[in-house]
Amino acid sequence: MKPEKIRNLTDVELKHQERDLADQLFKLKFQMNMGQTESLKKIRGLRKDIARIKTIMREQELAARKRERQ
């Protein structure tokens, strides 16, 4: 997922997207442990997408705090 696309999402949409990606990651890890899949590439991609979402959420939180102080 591209950072520009993530930045255009609202807070609620970001949280929902993060939850969905975390669920997908959990399912893939479970399948991998059961020997049903070997999609390590997809797991890495999901982890990076979750990190991007968390980073942008934090950026927005800090920007909001900065605006409040001014």
CATH number at residue 9: 1.10.287.310
DSSP label at residue 5: H
Domain count, the chain: 1
Q: How far apart, in Å, are the Cα atoms of 16 and each of 25, 31, 44, 65, 69?
A: 14, 23, 20, 22, 28
pTM here? 0.87
Q: Residue 70: its pLDDT value, please? A: 78
In SS3 terms, 13-55 reads as HHHHHHHHHHHHHHHHHHHHHHCCCCCHHHHHHHHHHHHHHHH
Q: What is the pLDDT of residue 66?
A: 92
pLDDT in tens, the chain (70 residues): 788 899 999 999 999 999 999 999 999 999 998 988 778 899 999 999 999 999 999 999 999 999 998 7
Domain hosting 65: range is: 3-69
